[in-house]
Chains A and B, each alone.
Chain A
Amino acid sequence: MNTLHQSAKATSRLGRPISASVLIAWLVYLFLIVPSLIVVPMSFGTSNELVFPPQQWGLDLYAKALDPAQGWLSAGGRSFVLGLIATGLALMMGVPAAYGLSRTNFFGQKALSFMLLSPIFAPTIVVALALYLYFATLHINGSMLGLVMGHAVIITPFLVVTTLSGLKHLDRNIENAAMVMGATQLQVFFRVVLPAIKGPVLSGSLFAFLLSFDEVIVSWFIARSDQPTLPVKMYSSIQWEVSPVLAAISTFLVFITVIVSLVSAFAQPENTDGF
């Protein structure tokens, strides 16, 4: 009751311009969310043309997407395996690195962390070109090995950042206490630090997987054109003709994104404003 009274008072006190800003905020939310939502009803249409709303409803587009002859299924499988391996590699390198960064303070540490995180800021096209030229000399362009390495470069820095933010909330005295009780640094890392940050690491690796699963540019340069990843196949498909089957694929991708976002939201501690 009282809070109602108060908030009514607060808005009237602040006057109209503020409510206009709320309206604009809502328009932006709408703009952000509509493209992800629009593909869902479209995926249940049957016609060969992209019309909204669909004239007829059905699962034809899904049947088409799952048809092995169309190649979507194998591309999806390739992306899935690639995502899993790249995320595993990122976890093995990124989590210890984040721990190392957060617990040391040496000369040149800033430069090192800039180097380790710079793929986040570097234009992806430059990274893609660099890997393409490099892998050409190593003759691993078009191989799974090349794709895994390329994706690891892109997603590991991201995992380092999320792990670092998890470590920031960890009380260092817990580690010191474990050391005093005779634990080695490795034991402290595996038995004290890792269990304490498993939430952020889990959500970070889910997003890292998603990042790899959706990655286009590096794959576009490195993957063999007859063995595309899912995003590469989508990219070339949109480039040539916008086929309705893309609505089904898109809906699937949106679904994965929603799942990852929800799971990681639950994995995060309550009192943070992280993403």
Chain B
Amino acid sequence: MTSKLTLHGVSKRYGPVTALHPTDLEVREGEFVTLLGPSGSGKSTLLKIIAGMELPTEGRIIINGRDATEMPVRERDLGMVFQNYALMPHLTVFDNVAFPLKIRKTATEEIRRKVHDALKTVQLEHLKDRKPQALSGGQQQRVSIARAIVYNPSLVLMDEPLGALDKKLREQLQFEIKELHDRLGITILYVTHDQQEAMSMSDRVALMNGGRIEQIGTPRQLYFTPETAFAADFLGSSNFIDATVTARTSERTVCRLSSGEEIAAPSREGFSEGQKVRLMVRPEHISLLGQAVSADRNVLKGVTTGTTFFGESAEIRARLAAGSEIAIRIPNDYSLPEAEPGAPLHLEWDVRQTHVFA
């Protein structure tokens, strides 16, 4: 597969502020890549540099095989969907979608056909004569999407396109964008700070933190094998437990908690005996059986401190013998005899679902 976008060591500084550390990134043809990260992590900065609205302090940008580092915005052959739609208020829906085609001096008949097709794709043909102000937020964003794909740009950038919509509409549009991507084979670089959105839509997620890409991979990779505590914490929920490495083989690393209990985890590079570490296990990977002692399971003792019901699941909070608080998520078809505050608990989970971080 060919590469639609390649970044080589792109960085951005505003005076003393480093908004983006040198960053490499590749987006392949037809891929859906998401930049995910908390506020201020540099997502918009990266997107603006790619779009050409900001110049990088260092590094090179290759779009569709051409060096675009110094290229004017208009020559980069990009599509863009903005958070606040950025539809021209003086133009009708039709003319908004026709805008990029008119700029390209496309023949009238072809404009009519392409706009029609694009509006049909987002199911808005019937509103083509309205002004954008007369549309709902979701409809406006669909127009904006139609406008970004009507001229087949190499790469479509989307900066928090669903940020201004309510939850229900957001979920529906997530689905529609994903479906559009799969059907038309367009290449999308998407920005969001909503981890659920990133996971459900993307082929790959680039997790950003403090102006750099912390980890990049498929949603499954990020979820099941987070490389840093930040990645583990940002994607999904997580429990952290302080421990010290006591033994290490090529397969297993064994750590001791302050209570003396031992936890095993799959070995990773870069840890040595005696090192202080943080162990992580996701609340939904813990179960409460605690009877079946096997070499593949970790077991801990705790005391219930509280329970919260979420409908489809429940969360039980427990205090470990080692002192720290831990959360357990379990499906709610369960009866929970031990869930009274103060009741002792036996927590148990798969060794492979234990992660060790420095």
Contact = CB atoms under 8 A, between A and B. Distances in A.
Contact flag (A, B; Cβ within 8 A): yes
B55 A5 contact: yes
A13 B13 CA distance: 22
Interface string A1-21: 010011001000100000000
Contacts of B55: 2, 5-6, 9
- Specify the main secondary structure of chain A where it touches its partner: helix
Contacts of B13: 2
A2 B57 contact: yes
B72 interface: yes
Contacts, number: 11
A13 B52 CA distance: 11
Identify the interface centre among B13, B14, B54, B55: most chain A CB within 10 Å of its CB. B55
A6 B72 CA distance: 12
Contact of B72 (A2, A5, A13): A13
Interface string B54-95: 110100000000000010110000000000000000000000
A18 to B, nearest CB: 14
Contacts of B70: 9
Contacts of A2: 13-14, 55, 57
A110 B341 CA distance: 65
Interface residues of A, number: 5
A13 B55 CA distance: 13
Contacts of A5: 55
A107 to B, nearest CB: 28
Most chain B beta-carbon contacts within 10 A, residue among A2, A6, A9: A2
A17 to B, nearest CB: 15
A13 B14 CA distance: 21
A52 to B, nearest CB: 48
A233 B54 CA distance: 59
Nearest to B54: A6
A13 B70 CA distance: 11
User: Which of B13, B14, B72, B73 is packed against the most chain A CB atoms within 10 Å?
Assistant: B72
A2 B16 CA distance: 12
A196 to B, nearest CB: 32
B211 to A, nearest CB: 16
Interface in B9-39: 13-14
A48 B70 CA distance: 63
A6 B57 CA distance: 10
Contacts of B73: 13
Contacts of B54: 6
A6 B13 CA distance: 13
A22 to B, nearest CB: 20
Nearest to A14: B72
A230 B73 CA distance: 58
A38 to B, nearest CB: 43
B16 to A, nearest CB: 12
A163 to B, nearest CB: 32
A9 B71 CA distance: 10
B73 to A, nearest CB: 8
Nearest to A2: B57
Nearest to A6: B55
Interface of B: 13-14, 54-55, 57, 70, 72-73
11 contacts: A2-B13, A2-B14, A2-B55, A2-B57, A5-B55, A6-B54, A6-B55, A9-B55, A9-B70, A13-B72, A13-B73
Given A2-B13, A13-B73, 9 more contacts: A2-B14, A2-B55, A2-B57, A5-B55, A6-B54, A6-B55, A9-B55, A9-B70, A13-B72
The list of the 10 closest CB pairs from A to B, nearest first, reads: A13-B72, A6-B55, A2-B57, A9-B55, A5-B55, A2-B13, A2-B55, A13-B73, A9-B70, A2-B14
